[in-house]
């Protein structure tokens, strides 16, 4: 007789816990970031094992970009000096508090109803009205469209917020956080070979998202990574923040979504509803614009605030 | 299809052994360049064996092509990042830093 | 056909609920378009859409009064639990109108300062775009009734509010913004954890449906014990996250530097509105989602923290060396008043407590927006806001001082101000047994009078160099007093509004009976006896403080000073990351104990 198939996930669980504990314990910023990236990859595999492929794709795609952002920040900051170490009563107190909260959460999770009440049946029943075969896409673009709309607005606002921390003199310039003096030839080679592949995979992720796992966020994240790679290798440069075209690209996704949603009250009896005959084309239009905007926003977030060119020695 | 399964088990196990050897090398080798070498072995050969083993299970033609494309991508990215890491190590100077062994090893592992 | 006839279906007819989504969509649309128009266009677009938004908010309030019952709208035609619904009840309508009104006024005040010619393109574009973002997030918070939709609204709010802190671009401002960002994101994570658990427990995120299930009105009869305690624990997680975002003392490490360091109009918006957004969600969670919160001990925990904030916040305000920091600490104290809602609403005569908390939101928003704008005016006039070097500023800017005093009197709770109404309604909710809470209310009012008196004493005493007034770096125009004056007067005269107007608050919450409560409170206020019993102590304390400051340095004064420095040291420890983090966990556990025992 074969052992319980769930045992196959045991190494994954052990690795996840060990990495999490190590992440808390480590004192070096850079090691923590690298550990965190690895942690994100393991979490992505866990999502695969749980059957949540959409979440896994997002975790993997965004986790990589997060890791890059954090590493760049850590490289710039260097090893920041720690304050005086906490006194031992405080340490004990914090340990006890953390232990109590963790124990409470554990009890809570173990008492959750089994199976959890959920909306799977309701989604399956109504999904046909959205002309989408991927239930996650149906939730994101139809049932809970307003949340997706606001989330993409947050992403755009975050870029404006990032730009606003630049210096006054640099306003209108281009971001320069990715600039290096002489990119490694291996990086340049990679930046020539990888982006065409990434572009194909990204467009595929967007297109397949209607019926299979994937969608604008995952596709946008992948495309943003390719763009950042090109910028890192100095095969191209981020556009200046004064460029209206960039801003249009940044805002187009939420803007198209919102305008179609507003038109719904006339064309389909409710805000954020789609007229029956046009459901699929409208959703495709929204998703295409969103893919573009997510890619632009994430790439610009990696590129940093506008900066003046460094003075040559 | 029993022979295909045996083929897969043998090759994937062999690939896993390469990964294990790569892990041991990462942990035990004294300097960063050797550790890098161990890792590239795991990546190129270990993954290659796993992919070839899985080919017997994959659907023809797209499953097979996807697996091969995956392997080629990893070789490309692994090779390029390995080159970059080695270049950075070279630029940083030849002396191995015994007290920061753990850190450097994680660098090599984490950027893959 | 007249305009009224055309608008009839929306204002008083079947289409009233269609007003809800535009209240959210207009700010989002404007925030998305603003960067496309560039800095100049962003400013005009923001001002125009704010005026449109104010009109929409007033129309929604009118439609709500006409309907007499909460309005709900299912977005996309998908009803909850599958879809997301927006809802408008009395408190939400009040917040919508207040937010639009304060933003319009602050926007008009800032229109001169935040334009390309004066502030540069970066600041202009960012300020107006982010202001619109703050507005979008707040409206989303008021209209939402889906826990995840509310989470997204909080994120819109946070990501717009944080960069406002560092518009000036100094290192200290950047650090303050970063502190704010980290603590706010910690709060978001806790909230999201709670919302996720709630979905796992009930299969819906709709506040109304969860409340019905918990109260036993669900399809499957009453909720089981495990589901009930799980839900309460989830509420505690969300509540803790929101407390961090509201900066209830002692979780306030981010607020003084952020609100004290932002440009004055941004501080006004952050202090008057942004922290109230997360409070409003706490109001929803504990009063609308949790059935019978009075039976739990949660009021005691939140009320104790509120009382702590009132006392410590006011004392710290009294000791601040900079005017803007003084105003920021006063915000911390005033936020404390909001949390007295939770113990007092649970009492036997608790009806007026909810009215009092909502009026505190309004009154503080008006008065504090005025005070921050005035502090900014002083800072511009003298090039700094250090109180020690501002001796005699009242002689140079007499009208500014008058408006500061008006706004301060509203905060201290003199009749007929909003602050007076708040204290009076809380007092009647507390009743005879609640003497402890009443004592805190009175002490808080006296301490507010004390720091107001301190500003007054600084303003009239001779300047440092023996001259009558300090050197003016730049004489501000009289026009800039218009908006702060309006705001301060509105706060001071809030109690004189016809009591019938307060019936707006009661739509969907008949048990509040706000109109009658306000009428009752105001009847006593302006009679001679009532007026002096509320005004006398305030004036006495103010006089004492002025005399204390005027008297100079004696031995016992130095002892008082040493005591104050000791207290400031303790408060400084509370603002360390590790202490604040431990306190966050402790407050989480305290709330959990309060609801689960």
Determine the distance from the C-alpha atom of residue C597 to the mean position of all C-alpha atoms in its chain, rounded to a whole number.
31
| Cα–Cα distance for residue pair C195/A91, rounded to 1 Å | 30
With a cut of 50, say whether residue B106 has pLDDT above it.
Answer: no
Place of tokens 């949340």: A147
pLDDT digits (tens, 9 = 90+) for C101-155: 999 999 999 888 888 878 888 889 999 999 999 999 999 999 999 999 999 999 9
Q: Decide if pLDDT at A110 tops 60.
A: yes
Residues from chain C contacting residue A271 (CB–CB below 8 Å): 18, 21, 25, 73, 75-76
Interchain pair A186, B80: CB under 8 A: yes
Structure tokens at C409: 């009197």
Q: How confident is the model at residue C459 (pLDDT cuts 50, 70, 90)?
A: confident
The β-bridge partners of C221 are C218
With cut-offs at 50, 70 and 90, classify the pLDDT of residue B104.
Answer: very low
The answer to whether A207 and A287 have CB atoms below 8 angstroms apart is no
d(CA A68, CA A63): 9
Q: Do C186 and C241 meet the contact criterion of CB atoms below 8 Å apart? A: yes
A229: left (phi over 0), alpha (psi -120 to 50) or beta: alpha
pLDDT over 80 (residue A147)? yes
pLDDT tens for residues A62-76?
887 888 888 888 877
Q: Please judge whether A184 and B87 are an interchain contact, meaning their C-beta atoms are less than 8 angstroms apart.
A: yes
Q: Which of A123, A160, A251 sits opposite C130 (nearest CB)?
A: A160
> What angle do the packed helices C418-430 and C398-412 form, to 10 degrees?
10
C215 pLDDT more than 70: yes
Residue C253 has pLDDT above 70, yes or no: yes
pLDDT, one tens digit per residue, over C531-570 is: 777 777 777 877 877 777 766 667 777 787 888 888 888 8
- From C440's Cα to the closest Cα of chain A, the distance in A is 30
- What was the pLDDT predicted at C161? 92
Q: Which of B99, B106, B108, B112 is the best residue to mutate to test the A interface, defined by the most A CB atoms within 10 Å of its own CB?
A: B106
**Is the Cβ pair A34, B84 closer than 8 Å?**
no
- Of residues C168 and B52, the one with the higher pLDDT is B52
Given pLDDT bands bounded at 50, 70 and 90, which one contains residue C1? low
- Tell me which of A224-233, B31-40, C334-343 is least confident: B31-40
Is the bond into C548 cis (omega within 30 degrees of 0)?
no
Q: What's residue B105's pLDDT?
A: 44
User: In the predicted model, is pLDDT for residue C503 greater than 90?
Assistant: no
pLDDT of residue C304: 92
Q: Which two tokens stand for residue C11?
A: 């204002």
Instruction: Please say if the pLDDT value at position C99 is more than 90.
Output: yes
Q: Across B43-47, C213-217, C246-250, C287-291, which has the greatest mean pLDDT?
A: C246-250
Q: Is the peptide bond before C416 cis (omega within 30 degrees of 0)?
A: yes
Instruction: Please indicate if any CB of chain A lies within 8 Å of the CB of C79.
Output: no
Is the four-CA dihedral A6, A11, A12, A15 of positive or negative sign? positive
> Does B108 or C455 have the greater pLDDT score?
C455
- The stretch A35-53 carries a mean pLDDT of 89
Q: Reduce the DSSP state of residue C143 to 3 states and report it.
A: helix
CA distance A101 to C585: 7
pLDDT, one tens digit per residue, over C351-394 is: 788 888 999 999 999 999 999 999 988 888 888 888 888 877 88
pLDDT of residue A245: 92
- State how far the alpha carbon of A5 is from the alpha carbons of A106, A114, B60, in Å: 24, 20, 28
Structure confidence at residue B102 (pLDDT): 46
- Chains sharing 3 or more CB pairs under 8 A with chain B: A
- Chain centroid to Cα C254, Å, comes to 16
Counting CB pairs under 8 A, whether chains B and C reach 3 or more, is: no
Which residue in the set A164, A258, A271 is minimally distant from C163, CB to CB? Answer: A164
Give, rounded to a whole angstrom, the gap between the first and last alpha carbons of chain B: 35
Q: Is the pLDDT of residue A305 over 50?
A: yes
The SS3 assignment for C144 reads strand
Distance CA(B98)–CA(C312), nearest Å, equals 53
Q: Give one DSSP letter per residue of chain A, joined into a string.
A: -PPPGGGGGHHHHHHHHHHHHHHHH---HHHHHHHHHHHHHHHHHHHHHTT-HHHHHHHHHHHHHHHHHHHHHHHHH-SPPP-SPPPHHHHHHHHHHHHHHHHHHHHHHHTS-SSPP-SHHHHHHHGGGGT-S-HHHHIIIIITHHHHHHHHHHHHHHHHHHHTTS-GGGTTS-B-TT--SS--HHHHHHHHHHHHHHHHHHHHHHHHTTTSS--HHHHHHHHHHHHHHHHHTTSS-PPPTT-HHHHHHHHHHHHHHHHHHHHHHHHSSSTT---GGGHHHHHHHHHHHHHHHHHHHHHHHHH-SB-PPPPP-
**Interface predicted TM-score of the whole assembly (ipTM), two decimals:** 0.92
| H or E element in which residue C74 lies | strand C71-74
Average pLDDT over residues A101-119: 86
Q: Alpha-carbon distance C9 to C14, whole Å?
A: 6
Sign of torsion over alpha carbons A238, A241, A243, A247: positive
Interface test with B, best of A34, A40, A197 (most B CBs within 10 A): A34
| C77 near A CB under 8 A | yes
| Residue indicated by tokens 């695969």 | A48
Highest mean pLDDT among C52-61, C387-396, C471-480: C52-61
**pLDDT, tens digit, 9 for 90 and up, residues C12-27:** 777 888 888 999 999 9
Which residues, other chains included, contact C243 with Cβ-Cβ below 8 Å and sequence gap of 6+?
C187, C251, C282, C305, C587
| Sequence-separated contacts (24+) of C434-440 with Cβ below 8 Å | C434/C343, C434/C344, C434/C347, C437/C303, C437/C307, C437/C340, C437/C343, C437/C344, C440/C307, C440/C310, C440/C311, C440/C340
Please identify among residues 129-168 of chain C the ones whose CB lies closer than 8 Å to any CB of chain A.
Answer: 129-130, 133, 136, 140, 148-149, 152-153, 155-156, 159-160, 162-163, 166-167
> Quick one: tokens of C473?
């770096």
Kindly give, in sequence order, each residue whose CB lies less than 8 Å from that of residue C490, ignoring residues fewer than 6 positions away. Answer: C366
**A256 CB within 8 Å of a chain C CB:** no
Cβ atoms of residues C50 and C103 within 8 Å: yes
pLDDT digits (tens, 9 = 90+) for B62-95: 889 999 998 898 888 888 888 888 888 887 776 5
Instruction: Looking at the complex, report in whole angstroms how far the Cα of residue B109 sits from the nearest Cα belonging to chain A.
Output: 8
Chains in contact with A, where contact means 3 or more Cβ–Cβ distances below 8 Å, are: B, C
- Within an 8 Å CB–CB cutoff, is residue A160 touching chain C? yes
> Taking 70 as the threshold, does the pLDDT of residue A155 lie above it?
yes
Helix axis angle for A53-77 and A279-303, nearest 10°, is 20
The reported pTM is: 0.90
Chain B residues lying within 8 Å of A34, measured CB to CB? 106-107, 109-111
Residues of chain A with Cβ-Cβ distance to C82 below 8 Å are: 119, 122-123, 126, 143
Element at C97 (helix H, strand E): helix C90-110
Reading phi first (left if > 0) and then psi (alpha if -120 to 50, else beta), residue C290 is in beta
Task: Between A312 and C324, name the one with better pLDDT.
Answer: C324
Contact A293, A220 (CB under 8 A): yes
Q: Is C466 exposed, middle or buried (0-12, 13-18, 19+ CB in 10 A)?
A: exposed
Percent of chain A with pLDDT over 90: 27
Q: Which sequence spans correspond to the domains of chain A?
A: 9-77, 87-117, 120-313
Would you say C504 and C498 are in contact if contact means Cβ atoms under 8 Å apart? no
Query: Could you give the CA distance from residue C408 to residue C491 in angstroms, rounded to a whole number?
Result: 10
Residue pair C166/C301 in contact by the 8 Å Cβ criterion = no
Q: How near does any CA of chain A get to the CA of B101, in Å?
A: 12
In the A/C pair of chains, how many CB contacts fall below 8 A?
A: 192
């Amino acid at each position: 007789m074969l052992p319980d198939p769930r045992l196959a996930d045991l190494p994954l669980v052990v690795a996840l816990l060990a990495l999490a504990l190590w992440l808390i314990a480590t004192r070096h910023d850079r090691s923590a970031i690298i550990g965190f990236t690895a942690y994100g990859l393991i979490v992505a595999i866990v999502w695969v094992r749980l059957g949540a492929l959409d979440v896994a794709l997002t975790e993997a795609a965004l986790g990589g970009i997060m890791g890059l952002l954090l590493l760049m920040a850590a490289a710039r900051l260097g090893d920041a000096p720690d304050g005086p170490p906490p006194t031992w009563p405080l340490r004990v107190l914090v340990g006890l508090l953390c232990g109590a909260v963790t124990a409470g959460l554990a009890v809570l999770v173990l008492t959750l109803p089994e199976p959890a009440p959920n909306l799977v049946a309701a989604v399956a029943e109504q999904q046909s009205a959205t002309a989408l075969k991927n239930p996650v896409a149906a939730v994101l673009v139809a049932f809970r469209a307003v949340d997706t709309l606001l989330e993409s607005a947050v992403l755009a606002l975050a870029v404006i917020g990032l730009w606003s921390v630049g210096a006054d003199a640099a306003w209108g310039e281009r971001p320069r956080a990715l600039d290096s003096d002489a990119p490694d030839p291996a990086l340049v080679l990679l930046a020539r070979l990888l982006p065409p592949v990434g572009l194909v995979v990204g467009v595929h992720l967007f297109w397949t998202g209607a019926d299979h796992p994937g969608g604008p966020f995952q596709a946008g994240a992948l495309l943003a990574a390719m763009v950042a790679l090109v910028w890192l290798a100095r095969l191209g440069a981020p556009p200046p923040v004064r460029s209206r075209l960039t801003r249009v690209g940044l805002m187009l996704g939420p803007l198209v979504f919102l305008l179609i949603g507003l038109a719904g009250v006339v064309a389909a009896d409710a805000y954020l509803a789609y007229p029956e005959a046009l459901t699929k084309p409208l959703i495709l239009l929204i998703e295409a614009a969103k893919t573009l905007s997510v890619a632009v926003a994430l790439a610009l977030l990696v590129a940093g605030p506008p900066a003046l060119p460094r003075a040559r020695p | 299809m029993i022979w295909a399964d045996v083929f897969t088990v043998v090759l994937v196990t062999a690939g896993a052994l390469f990964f294990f050897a790569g892990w041991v090398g990462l942990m035990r080798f004294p300097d960063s360049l050797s550790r890098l070498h161990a890792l590239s072995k795991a990546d190129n050969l270990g993954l290659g064996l796993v992919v070839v083993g899985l080919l017997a299970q994959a659907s023809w033609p797209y499953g097979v092509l996807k697996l091969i494309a995956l392997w080629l991508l990893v070789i490309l990215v692994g090779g390029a990042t390995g080159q970059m890491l080695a270049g950075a190590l070279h630029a940083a100077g030849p002396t191995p830093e015994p007290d920061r062994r753990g850190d450097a090893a994680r660098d090599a592992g984490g950027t893959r | 056909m007249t305009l009224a006839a055309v608008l009839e279906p929306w204002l008083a007819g079947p289409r009233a609920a269609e007003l809800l989504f535009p209240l959210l969509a207009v700010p989002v649309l404007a925030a998305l378009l603003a960067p496309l128009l560039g800095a100049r266009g962003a400013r005009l677009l923001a001002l125009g859409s704010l005026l449109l938004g104010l009109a929409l908010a007033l129309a929604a309030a009118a439609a709500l009064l006409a309907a007499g019952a909460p309005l709900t709208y299912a977005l996309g035609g998908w009803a909850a639990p599958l879809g997301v619904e927006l809802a408008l009840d009395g408190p939400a309508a009040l917040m919508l109108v207040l937010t639009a009104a304060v933003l319009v006024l602050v926007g008009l005040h800032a229109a001169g300062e935040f334009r390309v010619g004066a502030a540069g393109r970066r600041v202009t574009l960012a300020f107006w775009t982010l202001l619109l973002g703050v507005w979008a997030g707040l409206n989303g918070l008021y209209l939402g009734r889906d826990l995840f939709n509310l989470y997204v609204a909080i994120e819109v709010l946070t990501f717009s509010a944080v960069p406002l802190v560092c518009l000036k671009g100094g290192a200290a401002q950047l650090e303050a913004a970063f502190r704010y960002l980290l603590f706010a994101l910690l709060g978001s994570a806790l909230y999201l954890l709670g919302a996720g658990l709630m979905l796992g427990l009930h299969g819906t995120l709709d506040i109304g449906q969860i409340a019905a299930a918990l109260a036993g009105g669900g399809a499957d009869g009453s909720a089981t014990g495990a589901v009930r305690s799980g839900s309460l624990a989830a509420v505690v997680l969300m509540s803790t996250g929101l407390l961090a975002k509201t900066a209830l003392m002692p979780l306030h490490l981010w607020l003084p530097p952020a609100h004290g360091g932002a440009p004055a109009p941004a501080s006004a918006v952050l202090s008057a509105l942004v922290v109230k957004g997360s409070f409003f969600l706490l109001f929803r969670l504990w009063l609308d989602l949790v059935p019978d919160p009075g039976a739990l001990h949660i009021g005691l925990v939140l009320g104790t923290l509120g009382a702590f904030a009132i006392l410590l916040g006011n004392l710290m305000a009294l000791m601040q060396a900079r005017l803007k920091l003084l105003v920021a600490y006063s915000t911390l104290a005033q936020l404390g008043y909001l949390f007295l809602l939770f113990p007092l609403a649970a009492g036997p005569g608790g009806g007026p407590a909810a009215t009092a908390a909502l009026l505190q939101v309004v009154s503080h928003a008006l008065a504090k927006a005025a005070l921050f704008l005035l502090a900014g005016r002083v800072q511009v006039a003298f090039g700094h806001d250090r109180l020690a070097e501002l001796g005699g500023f009242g002689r140079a800017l007499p009208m500014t001082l008058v408006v500061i005093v008006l706004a301060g009197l509203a905060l201290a709770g003199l009749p007929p101000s909003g602050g007076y109404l708040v204290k009076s309604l809380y007092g009647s909710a507390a009743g005879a047994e609640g003497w402890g809470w009443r004592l805190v209310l009175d002490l808080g009012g006296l301490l507010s009078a004390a720091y107001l008196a301190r500003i007054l004493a600084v303003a009239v005493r001779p300047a440092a160099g023996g001259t009558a007034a300090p050197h003016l770096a730049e004489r501000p125009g009289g026009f800039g007093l218009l908006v702060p004056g309006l705001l301060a007067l509105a706060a001071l005269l809030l109690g004189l509004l016809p009591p019938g107007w307060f019936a707006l608050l009661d739509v969907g919450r008949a048990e509040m009976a706000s109109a009658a409560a306000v009428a009752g409170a105001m009847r006593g206020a302006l009679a001679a006896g009532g007026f002096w019993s509320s005004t006398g102590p305030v004036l006495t304390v103010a006089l004492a403080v002025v005399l204390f400051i005027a008297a100079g340095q004696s031995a016992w004064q130095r002892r008082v000073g040493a005591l104050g420095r000791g207290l400031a040291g303790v408060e400084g420890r509370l603002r360390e990351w590790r202490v604040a983090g431990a306190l966050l966990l402790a407050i989480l556990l305290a709330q959990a104990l309060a609801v689960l025992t």
